[in-house]
Amino acid sequence: CMGVTGRPAAGEDIAVARDIILSELTGCHLHVAHVSSARAVELIRQAKKRGSRVTTEVTAQHLYFTDDYLKGYEPVYKMAPPIRAEKDRQALIEGVLDGTIDAIITDHAPHANEEKDVPFCCAPNGIAGLETSLSSVLTMLYHTHRLSIDRIVELMSTNPARLLRVEGGILDAGKPADITVINPDYEWTVHGKDLYTKTLFTPYEGITLKGKAVLTLVDGQVVMKEGKVLK
Ligand SMILES: [Zn+2]
């Protein structure tokens, strides 16, 4: 007990089980957003084995952090769903590796400093995930030899595009030139003050990550080069 209202994994597990049952009843595609518990991953794995129309995704930060980080009551680690136990984090990684989890996402939810810099109980959920998610995934899963770059591109680009039914994630003539160039060996230490997001808080503060997006094109135009956003 930490003196704050908990959000036990049982709540997520029950909701996911219910929604899978309803999806199977109606034949509707179910996408489970931000899966975070070991049992929910297992429920989705079994549903997929039965041929159910279920997809899911996980945030980069749920693959990196555990509830150990919550012990200091720092609002920077407050997100929804909450970061859970190490066994949940391991199950999420397993779900990514075996294809149960279709995509890894940023869940970019920045808050202004004055909103987030309040006692834990009052702080809003969510962190700025955009500028750290790729680096986090490369550090956690590529440099530990668990995922290839090709697989990471699938999980973070091609599959999300397919799930959202938007063009993109494909390099081909006539397709949108929305391109990210990655340097997988670029090491950098994260400091919230250096990020472009409106929040100075990041759970990765002071953490050294390996791998970074070094160039971004949107519709054929270079919009970011070596960490600098261009007008
Ligand atoms: Zn979200």
Strand partners, 146: none
* pLDDT tier at 224, thresholds 50, 70, 90: very high
pLDDT at residue 170, as a whole number = 81
- Among 107, 185, 194, 219, the active-site one is 107
- Centroid of ligand 1 to alpha carbon of 124 (angstroms): 12
All domains of the chain in start order, with CATH: 9-171 (3.20.20.140)
Q: Is the pTM of this model over 0.85?
A: yes
Q: How far is the CA of 230 from the centre of ligand 1 (A)?
A: 27
Distance (angstroms) between ligand 1 centre and the Cα of 137 equals 18
The C-alpha angle 81, 118, 13, rounded to 5 degrees, equals: 10
Q: How far is the CA of 107 from the centre of ligand 1 (A)?
A: 5
* pLDDT at residue 218 is higher than 70: yes
Average pLDDT, the chain: 92
> Would residue 223 be called left, alpha or beta, if left means φ above 0 and alpha means ψ between -120 and 50 degrees?
alpha
Residue 75 has pLDDT above 90, yes or no: no
Q: pLDDT tens digits, residue range 2-16?
A: 677 778 999 999 999
194 catalytic per annotation: no
Query: What percentage of the chain carries pLDDT values higher than 90?
Result: 70
Q: Quickly state the pLDDT bin for 71 (edges 50, 70, 90).
A: confident
